Amino acid sequence: MNKKILVTGATGFIGSALVKKLALTSNEVSIIVRTSSDLTSLEDVLDKVKLVYGDITDRASLDSALQGIDYVYHSAGLTYMGDKKNELLYKINVDGTRNVLQASLAAGVKRVVHVSSITAVGIAFDKKPLNESSEWNFKAISLEYARTKHMSEIEVAEAVKKGLDCVIVNPAFVFGAGDINFNAGRIIKDIYNRKLPFYPLGGVCVVDVENVADTIITAMEIGKTGERYIIGGENVSYKQLADTISRITGAPKILFPLPFWMARILRAILDRYKNKNRVSKLFNLSMFRVASEFLYYDSTKAVRELHMRVEPHEKSIINAYEWYRERDMLN
């Protein structure tokens, strides 16, 4: 019997990769979108999915969208690393998640997979990779995005106590084909265009979007209720990542490390500089503060329980770069 599936956040990087895979199955796939949503990332599968108009911040629209739905992939969320959209972060990432969970309970949904973030796990201040049991320690750094993703997982825990079957997945730093809005791909574009002449002193866990989507689907099938799974790959320093991108794209290597204390001084100088477009959009202090630490994670649990594959980070960079180059999106 075909499953009836609803996906939130379907137009996002991870969400669109997920929907494209689900659309290839015999299941009935619906996606909740706003009337203003840009459907470009899904143009290849729009004839295979049902559009349901609504918004996760509107509980009534969710109640309507979830009628008859068996399974929900909740990948909607606001990814913003600055400090000017705090209220919107809470409205979407916390209140919106609560709405999805409560509406799913009310509708009798069989299972929900909540797509969280690696920032809800914490920071590896000593470079030792964190795992699903690590205590959240992001409160040491002021980043409301991380706080809201942490709070969204608290909402999941409360919903599970009330009887909802829900699994959490925590994707790491996601590269790959289809990153139309330049999420992680912004680094590739800015190094390619010589807009990033320095690298932060931290590191990050890299994973390919195809791997993420496959593992999310497996989490729906066999993940354990109330538990979370880190979907990651190689842990690499930003210097290693920058060297890889330079090698693959043919851009000059970035030679200069930039400590956070120096970044603060440089940012103050650049804020007085009129032509800010010559500097990478990645260079805001909130983001750079995080990038100065180590977002290193251990994905052993997902490998063991969800059969997740771990791939070299170079593969994800190549996939992303080739996709951008074929569409002339780097210039």
Q: Is 184 in contact with 19 (CB distance < 8 Å)?
A: no
Where do the domains of the chain lie, and which CATH numbers do they carry? 4-175+206-233+297-313 (3.40.50.720)
pLDDT of residue 260: 74
In 3D space, the residue among 57, 9, 5, 3 whose CA is nearest the CA of residue 30 turns out to be 5
Residue pLDDT, tens place only, 152-182:
999 999 999 999 999 999 999 999 999 999 9
pLDDT of residue 123: 95
Tokens representing 294 are 């180590």
What predicted TM-score, i.e. pTM, was given to this entire model? 0.94
Q: Is 47 in contact with 77 (CB distance < 8 Å)?
A: no
Ramachandran region of residue 176, left (φ > 0), alpha (ψ -120 to 50) or beta? left
In a structure prediction context, what are the per-residue pLDDT tens digits for the chain, which is 331 residues long?
Answer: 689 999 999 999 999 999 999 999 989 999 999 999 999 999 999 999 999 999 999 999 999 999 999 999 999 999 988 778 899 999 999 999 999 999 999 999 999 999 999 999 999 999 999 999 999 998 778 889 999 999 999 999 999 999 999 999 999 999 999 999 999 999 999 999 998 888 999 999 999 999 999 999 999 999 999 999 999 999 999 999 999 999 999 999 998 888 776 777 777 776 676 555 555 565 677 777 888 899 999 999 999 999 999 999 999 999 999 999 999 999 8
pLDDT of residue 287: 76
DSSP 172-223: -EEESTT-TT-STHHHHHHHHTT---EE-S-EEEEEEHHHHHHHHHHHHHHP
The C-alpha angle with vertex 155 and arms to 113 and 58, in degrees rounded to 5, equals: 80
SS3 content of the chain, % helix, strand, coil (to 5): 45, 15, 40
- Any idea what DSSP says for residue 297? B
- Beta bridge partners of residue 53, listed in sequence order: 33
Residue pLDDT, tens place only, 2-61:
899 999 999 999 999 999 999 999 899 999 999 999 999 999 999 999 999 999 999 999
Q: Name 208's Cβ contacts closer than 8 Å, sequence gap at least 6.
A: 174, 175, 176, 233, 311, 315, 316, 319
The H or E element containing residue 74 is strand 71-74
In this structure, is the dihedral angle defined by the CA atoms of residues 154, 289, 15 and 117, taken in order, positive or negative?
negative
Ramachandran region of residue 194, left (φ > 0), alpha (ψ -120 to 50) or beta? left
Q: Is 194 in contact with 254 (CB distance < 8 Å)?
A: no
